[in-house]
Every structure is written in C-alpha cells, then in structure tokens.
Amino acid sequence: MKSIKRVFLIIVGSLSLGLGIIGIVLPLIPTTPLLILAAACYIRSSDRLYHWLITNKHFGPYILNYREGKGIPLKAKVIGVTLLWISMLYTIIFVVPIIFVKILLFLTASYFTWFILKQKTLHTKVM
C-alpha cells in the first residue's frame, strides 16, 4: 500500500510541476501554488525529487521563500498580475462571446489578483 501511495504522490507532484511550468507562460494557471503542491507531494514520496525541486535554480527560491514565510518577490507579483489581466481582458473582449463566461473570467482574474497581492512581499536588498 505504501508503494501505491508513493507512486500516486510522485504522479500528482509531477503533474503539478508540469502545470506550474505551463503557468509561467499562461497566467491563468497559478505557478507558485502548483510548485508548492509539487514540493508537498515530493517531500512525502521522494527525497531525490524534493531535493531536486528545492535546489532548482529557477523554482527552488520561490518555493523556499514561500515556505519560510518570506513571501513572493515584488517583480513576480507585478509580472503575474499584469500578464493575468492582459490575457484575461483580451479573452473577455475579443475571444469569448458569452456574457456569463466573461463574468466568470473576470471574477477568476479578480480572485487570483487578490490572492497574489495578499501574499507577503519579499523585499530584496539592492546594493
């Protein structure tokens, strides 16, 4: 039974990591929560994968800073919220003809904006 749970967690963690990577370029997919989910799955199933993830030069700092309560860098917040609204407004105005879906997309963008902005901001020292 333990091996089935381990395999399941590795699969869920890997899917979460994949979606998180896709979320880097598709703003509707929340990257940081998916990376944190991947880390949570890996820490319970594979020391090797967890270590690889948190030491990864691209993903590791985001996960560690978030887990340690330091927050999300201001630059990541600005880029995330900006790309989110550019893509959502384009979709709402030019792509989706159904008013209910437009409202749903607007509410979704509003929620993720709130979620991102309510997170603690990581202040980096400038030399």
pLDDT 10s digits, 23-33: 878 766 777 77
Task: Kindly list the distances between the CA atom of residue 70 and the CA atoms of 33, 59, 76, 124, in Å, as whole numbers in the listed order.
Answer: 15, 15, 14, 10
Question: 55-79 pLDDT, tens per residue?
Answer: 999 888 878 888 888 888 888 788 7
**Is the overall model pTM greater than 0.75, yes or no?**
no
| Residue 125 confidence (pLDDT) above 70 | no
Contact 33, 44 (CB under 8 A): no
With the C-alpha atoms ordered 15, 20, 22, 27, is the resulting torsion angle positive or negative?
Answer: positive
| Residue 1 confidence (pLDDT) above 70 | no
pLDDT (mean) for 104-115: 92
| HSE value, Cβ hemisphere, 13 Å, CA-based, for 115 | 14
Q: Which residue has the higher pLDDT, 59 or 89?
A: 89
